[in-house]
Amino acid sequence: MTLETRSFVEEARREKLAALRERGVVPFEYGFARTHTAVTALEDYTSSDQEVAVRVAGRVIALRAHGKTTFGHVSDHTGRVQFFLRRDEVGEEQYRLLKLLDLGDHLGLEGVMFRTKTGEITVRVKQLKLLAKALRPLPLGKEDSAGVQHSGLVDAETRYRERYADLAVHADTRATFRLRAQAISYLRRFLDSKGYVEVETPALQPLYGGALARPFVTYYNALEAEFYLRIATELYLKRCIVGGMDRVYEIGKDFRNEGIDREHNPEFTMLEFYEAYADYGDIMCLVEEMLHGLVVELMGTEKIERFGVTLDFRPPWPRLDYTDLVREHAGVDLRTAEDAVLRATLVNRDIPDLDSVPRTKLIDGLFKHFVEDTLVQPCFVVDYPIEVSPLAKPKRGDPALAERFELFIQGSELANAFSELNDPDEQRARFDAQTAAREAGDAEAHQIDEDYIKALEYGMPPTGGCGIGVDRLVMLLAESPSIRDVILFPMLRPET
Question: Tens of pLDDT along 328-342?
Answer: 999 999 999 999 999
What are the DSSP E strand ranges found in 67-154? 69-76, 79-86, 106-115, 121-132, 142-143, 149-150
Q: What is the rounded CA–CA span in Å between residue 84 and residue 68?
A: 11
The model's pLDDT over 360-394, given as tens digits with 9 standing for 90+, comes to: 899 999 999 999 999 999 999 999 999 888 889 99
Predicted local distance difference test score (pLDDT) of residue 151: 60
Structural domains of the chain in order of their starting residue, each with its CATH number: 3-137 (2.40.50.140), 173-318+377-485 (3.30.930.10)
| pLDDT tens digits, one per residue of 49-71 | 788 999 999 999 999 999 999 99
Q: What is the DSSP letter of 5?
A: G
Q: Which of 5-9, 290-294, 390-394 has the highest mean pLDDT?
A: 290-294
Check residue 142 and give its pLDDT. Answer: 62
Q: pLDDT tens digits, residue range 78-131? A: 999 999 999 999 999 999 999 999 999 999 999 999 999 999 999 999 999 999
- pLDDT at residue 273, rounded to an integer: 98
Check residue 348 and give its pLDDT. 87
Mind listing the pLDDT tens digit for each residue in 236-282? 999 999 999 999 999 999 999 998 999 999 999 999 999 999 999 99
Residue 5's pLDDT is: 66
Q: What average pLDDT does this structure show over 343-350? A: 90
Banded pLDDT at 405 (limits 50, 70, 90): very high
Q: Kindly indicate the confidence band of residue 1, based on its pLDDT and cuts at 50, 70 and 90.
A: very low
pTM of the model: 0.92
Q: What is the pLDDT of residue 443?
A: 74
Q: Are 133 and 16 spatial neighbours (Cβ–Cβ below 8 Å)?
A: yes
Q: What is the DSSP string of 199-268?
A: ----SEESS--SSS-PPPEEEETTTTEEEEE-S-SHHHHHHHHHTT--EEEEEEEEE-----BTTB-SEE
Lowest mean pLDDT among 108-117, 229-238, 399-408, 439-448: 439-448
pLDDT of the residue at 154: 82
pLDDT at 155: 87
Range 182-200 burial, b when 16+ CB lie within 10 A, else e: ebbebbeebbeeeebeeee
398-409 vs 412-419, strand pairing mode: antiparallel
CB atoms within 10 A of CB 328: 14
pLDDT of 295 strictly over 80: yes
Single-letter code of the amino acid located at 398: D
pLDDT, greater one: 467 or 358: 467
Does residue 148 surpass a pLDDT of 70? no
CA angle, residues 448, 449, 453, in degrees to nearest 5: 110
Q: Average pLDDT, stretch 24-43?
A: 97
Highest mean pLDDT among 135-149, 298-312, 444-458: 298-312
Residue 356 — very low, low, confident or very high, per pLDDT cuts 50/70/90?
A: confident
Amino acid at 6: R
d(CA 413, CA 411): 7
- The predicted model gives 391-404 an average pLDDT of 95
CA angle at 443 for the pair 374 and 370, rounded to the nearest 5°: 15
Give 146's pLDDT tier (boundaries 50, 70, 90): very low
Tell me, what's the pLDDT at 191? 98
- Does residue 271 or residue 494 have the better pLDDT? 271
The confidence score (pLDDT) of residue 143 equals 58
Q: Over range 137-143, report the average pLDDT.
A: 77
Q: Give the chain's radius of gyration (CA, Å).
A: 29
Residue 81 one-letter amino acid: V
Query: Using CB atoms within 10 A of its CB, is residue 428 exposed (0-12), middle (13-18) or buried (19+)?
Result: middle
431 versus 318: the higher-pLDDT residue is 318
Higher pLDDT, 422 or 438: 422
Number of other CB atoms surrounding residue 278 within 10 Å: 21
pLDDT at 152 over 80: no
Phi-psi group of 41: left, alpha or beta (phi > 0 → left; psi -120 to 50 → alpha; rest → beta): alpha
- The model's pLDDT over 170-207, given as tens digits with 9 standing for 90+, comes to 999 999 999 999 999 999 999 999 999 999 999 999 99
The whole-number pLDDT of residue 351 equals 85
